[in-house]
Structure 1
Amino acid sequence: MYGLRLFRNMQHEVTDCVTTLAAFRGECLPLVPQDEDFNIVLQNLKKSGRVQIKDLEDGTVVVKLCKRGQSTAEPFKDTDIQIYRITVTQKKLEEEAELLSSRIDGFTEEARSYVQQGRKTLALYSLRKKKATQKVLDRKSACIMKLQDIVIKIEEARTNAMVITACETGVAALKSLEKDLNIDRVEAVMDEVGEALEDQEEISSAMEAAFPAHQRDLEEDLEQELQELLSGNRDEIVDISLPHDDSLSLKLSSLCVDDMDLPNVPTHSPSGSAASRKNSPSSVKTALYS
């Protein structure tokens, strides 16, 4: 089970769920380093159906892993072996292409060295080997691209098959529901719903007639409640801005104009009078020096 989780790096579960036992062992090596422990884990996975093991004609042992969302691995099919062989061939071609690419780089360096030494014949021979190797690399690259296209088409075809199967299942489910649900039944149910709503409306009307509710119009009630809220807010604002002080009110009410010794209000203008001349600056000066 732990080895199965560790090997969950498949890019596409249709074509990557089959691998060699050696590759599977290599992926599980960090988690299960001992071969005896790995064999026990492998037997438990096989017993629970999470993996399928098959011996091929060339002596290679392949393992098929269960896909995500499934508890057991599907039995081997001919398409699984064919896809496995295609992927193996593709990997071999990629390794050969990488080796040819390194050889081409070596021939280029070799020709450059001969040119520096002035040995043009050998440099030309190295360039010819480079060109021939390049042709082989191009052919292998074309084969790799063709195999990749085939694998992509297989993945697409398997996905299309899954979609078609899902659609067939959906159609079968719809048909099974249509057996219990038809137009006549829908119309009959809707008629019953309409009659039930009409009966309920008549019952409600009869209840209102028997027990009249003497209430004012809803809009008037809402308007009055809004006015009450607004008036309440205004009272609160006045109370906050002018706080009431009983002691201050008593002091102010105790004051009386009659109790204060104030002069009478003059009836004429004081200008030009004796009082003004007496209080003039010259009079004040004379008084100071007298």
Structure 2
Amino acid sequence: IRLGDDGNYTLYTGSSDMGMGANTILTQMACEALSCPMESMTVVESDTDIVPFDPGSYASSTTYVTGTAAKMAAEELREKIIHKLAQFMDVKPEDIDFDGLVGVTKDGTKKMSVQELAPKLLVGTTSEQLTGFATWGSHTSPPPFMASIAEVKVDKQTGQIIPLHMYNCVDCGTVVNPKLARVQVEGGAVQAIGMALYEDVRYSSNGRLETNNFMTYKIPTRQDIGELHTAFVESYEESGAYGVKSIGEIVINTACPAIQHAVKNAVGADVRTLPMTPEKVFMGMDEKYKV
């Protein structure tokens, strides 16, 4: 994280935001450590000419791993800024209160903003640009938890499953951004409903993929998923920054077994392969009611 000559901050990260809002999350965590508003920070991501190395945005590691590194980098930069403010105001670092934008002495007699400080650092023979750098990895991978309840309607004449409600409750540690976390849960639930009921990878006898377009490989639309209900039970994971844990993969794990048990509870069909097509459900009912 760099303090620019205009007094704003730039976060450089090797992790890629693949649509889950990682840049927003990293900015929130870094700004929390710096105590500055998010408007004061921009993000440069994934440009390997200028950003530090990152092994990849996978395994739900961005918030937990990269977020912890962002917090550590911000804390290092914060300490450097406070020391420079102390030099210019001729006081001790511990005598300064810094809110990420302005440093004020505890007696209130002196103050200096980062907009004033940044240009002063870049002139003269001892010019420098303040940066904070951190890299972090973890020997532990604290698991998130998720519980789901599926409510479905099953047509006994055809075996068709109609999702009505999906209730999801997630423990992903501290929720940094509730809106982003919610849509990630909802997106994973929709993907899981598609895996459970609609998406069928079929090959011919000679190995040719038969479901190779969206006319034959069905994915759920908004009309096919029922109503989604999401709740969070927060915990505090001490091994990372701000008590966060992962959320990315867990959200696809529960819909399939929840729907399978709902179907079994509704009509007795014990379908053990995916997708649970109407034919499989109908044959399952037929098998159950055979004498």
TM-score by length of 2: 0.23
Q: Which has the larger radius of gyration?
A: 1
TM-score by length of 1: 0.23
